[in-house]
Structures are given as C-alpha cells and as structure tokens.
A and B are shown apart, each in its own frame.
Chain A
Amino acid sequence: MSELVVGTKKGLFVLGGEPGGPFEVTARAFAGEPVECAVRDRRSGRLLAGMTSPFYGPKIFFADDPNGEWTQAEGVALPEGGEKALERMWVIVPGEADGLLYAGGDPGVLFESRDGGATWQLNQALWEHPTRDRWQPGGGGLCLHSIVPWPGEPDKLTVAVSAAGVWHTEDGGASWERGNDGLKPRYLPEAPPDDAPQEEDDHEIGLCVHRLDRAPKQPERLFMQFHGGVYRSDDAGRSWSEIGEGLPSDFGFPLVVDPADPDSAYVIPLTADMDRVTPDGRVRVYETRDGGSSWSPRGDGLPAEHAYLTVLRRAFDRVGEGDDLELYFGATSGEVFGSGDAGATWATAALRLPPVYSVTAS
C-alpha cells in the first residue's frame, strides 16, 4: 500500500492505494484552504502541511493522524517590524539528522526545524544575503521551491529560488554560495561583457530555476528543470550543462530521479512558457537513463489526445527505487496519475480533485 499526500487549491487530500491502480481518499484536511505543500516524514510518521489561507496568511501545521487535530507550528514568520511578510510556503523536506526538517517559502526564505516540525527558525544568512535586494520574483512569487540535502551530511544543502538561482551551503546554513555557471536565461538579453563595470548582472542572479533534484548515490550529480532548459551538474551544482535535446520541449516544472540510478531523471515537458500545457494534447513523462544524452517518452496509460494538462513544480514525486520505483504526479485539472513500474505503464490514481499543487509519496 502506498500513500500520496496531495496539496490542492481546496485542501489537503491523503490517498491510499496499490501502485499502478486507483487510489482512495483516506483523509481530507484544511477544507477550502490552499495547501501548497505537504509531506509525511517517513522517520516519525508525522504529516506536515504548508497552508496559505487567503485571509490569515501562510502557516505550517502538523499531525500524526490527518483525520485528527492539526497543530500550528511556531516560528513560521519573518522578523517582526520589517518591510516584508511571509507570503507562501512552497516545500517541506526532511533533512539528514534526527528531527531535522527544512521548509522553503516566498519571499525566497528557508526555515529549519530541529524538533520534527513543531518549531522553526528562519535561516538568517540567506535572509540577510547582500544580493537579496536584487532578487526578482518569478510568476509564482519569489519562491524557494527546491531543497536538496546531501545524503548523510546534514551541513551540506542546496536550495533553489525562482528567480534567484541555486544556492549551496556546506556549514549548516551559516553561509551560502551561488552555483549557476552554465545556466542560460533565454528570457534575458545577452549578457554584458565580462569587463562591464557592474559587479553582478541579472545573468548571475535573475535565474529562474523551476525544480532541482539530486542523485543520492552520486550526490555531486544534480538535475534541474530550468525556465527553458533541462540541465545536469556533475560538480555538486557549481556548473551546469544542457541536456534537454531530444525532449519535445525543454520547458516544464517538475523533475524527479530514480535514487538507484545516478544517470536517471524524469521530466514532464510543457509546450512553452507562453503555453503551459502538455504538448500536442498528450500527457507524457520523459525518462533518461543515460544522464540526459537521450530521452524516451513514457505515456502508456496516460491521456493521449485532447489532454492539455498543467503539472506544477511540486506535483511530481517518487517512492522506492530501481524496478520498484513508483512515480506519481497531479495536474491542475484535478487528476493524479501513478506508475508502479518506473514509468513503463501508468494508471489514473484519482480524478476530480481540486487543482493539484503538490504530491508527495510514501
């Protein structure tokens, strides 16, 4: 039995079912409220949800039983009396130490919890980074949407911000360095010459990363879906090479990897930034097993005609690995699709949910 935790425009849904088959709704929480991200921490069994009430602002809640009482976490706010307010939570990710979790949000902020998500602290070094006043929001806001721990090393972490690029820490978040070499923002004019007087130009800061994931067995390898371009890094995210050739479009949002295979990645292309639907009216996941040298469509069982779906950046997840890899994604149409055989075949896991913002699997 697998479990999906699905954040939607109108609440949180917990689904249960067998891989490759239909799932049943086992719980709904935060009825009517937008739940942008949610996850079950496999270590503790605790569910955590990032919810942004249009009236009362963004919060994180946690519960052991999604049908029971949810408790509001403490500390999920920016410093009082400042010029900014927290706008939205984008992602919650377990870290590499007992009780350690991270949460990312808008405006490009990272929170850390050391007690399993009950209390949170803002990462000050990223919040106070001297380049912050030049960070630009993308269409979804200034969202910190990807948080990628380094297996077994709690002090090493990579995060990505739209549109402020990739950031690395190797000292537990005390300091941060950019890692954007090789990214090509086609939405900007040509870069100024290297001897231009400006210390840092928009080509080094205004980088619209859509999703990032790491190959756990070869952690210096990362894959990225960019705003136009799919990339791979083999030096822990310092530099990037384009690997999008062979895809019907290199625009899209979500991306996952098979933990068993550092050469693997899955993306769900959308037609273009000005037409954010599945290309040609067909829903297909694309898989690489050679580090992005080639891509194969995986659409057996997915809608094959007149299907113009949008899959958002946090609405694709996996559980298991290798031959047991399960893949799940949800669309803003309210459908959730699943594969129990690493993408070879697919089935509809759920229909007629509210627009899906996020999917996590366990």
Chain B
Amino acid sequence: MALVRMRGQLKKLAADQSEHEVGGATVADVLRALEQDHPALAGWVLDERGRIRRHINVFVNGERAAEEAAVGPEDRLDVLPAISGGAK
C-alpha cells in the first residue's frame, strides 16, 4: 500500500488524517481509491475527467507525477496545492 500525505483542507476532508495507506497501480488509481475511502474528497483533487486539477500537484517520492504514473507499495505520494499567485 502506498502512503498518501495531505494537509490543510484536503486533510480535513479525509477524516482529518494527514496520512493514508492506499492501494493502486497508478496515481489515478490511488487517488480514486482515496475518494472511495473518503467520499468528501470526490471532485477536490481529480476533476470529472479523471485529471488532476490544474493547480494541484502530486509528487511520488518527491517527483512530480501525472495521473498515469506507476505507484508501488512502498511509494509515498504528497498531494499539495500548487504555489500560484500574482494574477489573483
């Protein structure tokens, strides 16, 4: 099972737990499984198309990763809002 770490609003939606052990072969699989465990997260990280929202970053073992990136049982996923600003 991969370890998923979240903070802030996402943590609150996931039973106020910052760390979760979740199964799945890809980033998308893991995030979908996380939504199954915590339905309040649905739509917050992945949109309806199954894509990671534009201003959310997912890192696998510290490397930014896309939806189709492979995930192993020993991997660590960090789900973080992107650093953005200037225009808003």
Contact = CB atoms under 8 A, between A and B. Distances in A.
Interface stretch (A75-83, A134-142, A325-333, A335-343): A75-83
Contact of A55 (B40, B50, B56): B56
B6 to A, nearest CB: 12
Q: Is the interface of A mostly helix, strand, loop or mixed?
A: loop
Contacts of B88: 9, 34, 54
B interface secondary structure, majority: loop
A77 B42 CA distance: 10
Interface residues of B, number: 17
B9 A84 contact: no
A79 B47 CA distance: 10
A72 interface: yes
Interface of B: 9, 40, 43-45, 47-51, 53, 55-56, 81-82, 84, 88
Contact of B49 (A9, A54, A83): A83
Given A9-B88, A56-B9, A72-B40, A84 B48 contact: yes
A77 B88 CA distance: 24
A57 B44 contact: yes
B43 A59 contact: yes
A55 B81 contact: yes
A119 to B, nearest CB: 13
Contacts of A77: 43, 48
8 contacts: A55-B56, A57-B44, A72-B40, A79-B48, A81-B48, A82-B49, A83-B49, A85-B48
B8 to A, nearest CB: 9
A54 B84 contact: yes
Interface residues of A, number: 18
B43 A55 contact: no
Contacts of A57: 43-44, 47, 53
A86 interface: yes
A56 B53 contact: yes
Contacts of A81: 48-50
Contacts of B48: 77-82, 84-86
Nearest to B53: A57
Nearest to A58: B43
B10 to A, nearest CB: 8
Interface in A128-152: none
A78 B43 CA distance: 10
A80 B50 CA distance: 7
Contacts of A9: 88
A313 to B, nearest CB: 20
A55 B49 contact: no
B9 to A, nearest CB: 7
Nearest to B41: A56
Contacts of B82: 55
A179 to B, nearest CB: 30
B57 to A, nearest CB: 10
A55 B56 CA distance: 6
B59 to A, nearest CB: 15
A124 to B, nearest CB: 15
A57 B51 CA distance: 12
Contacts of A34: 88
A85 B49 CA distance: 6
Residue among B48, B51, B56 having the largest count of chain A Cβ atoms under 10 Å: B48
A34 B47 CA distance: 18
A254 B16 CA distance: 42
Given A56-B9, A81-B50, A83-B49, 15 more contacts: A54-B88, A55-B55, A55-B56, A55-B81, A55-B82, A56-B43, A57-B43, A57-B53, A80-B50, A81-B49, A82-B48, A84-B48, A84-B49, A85-B48, A86-B48
Instruction: Name the 7 nearest CB pairs between A and B, nearest first.
Output: A85-B47, A55-B81, A56-B44, A78-B48, A55-B55, A85-B48, A80-B48
Interface string A48-85: 00000011110100000000000010000111111111
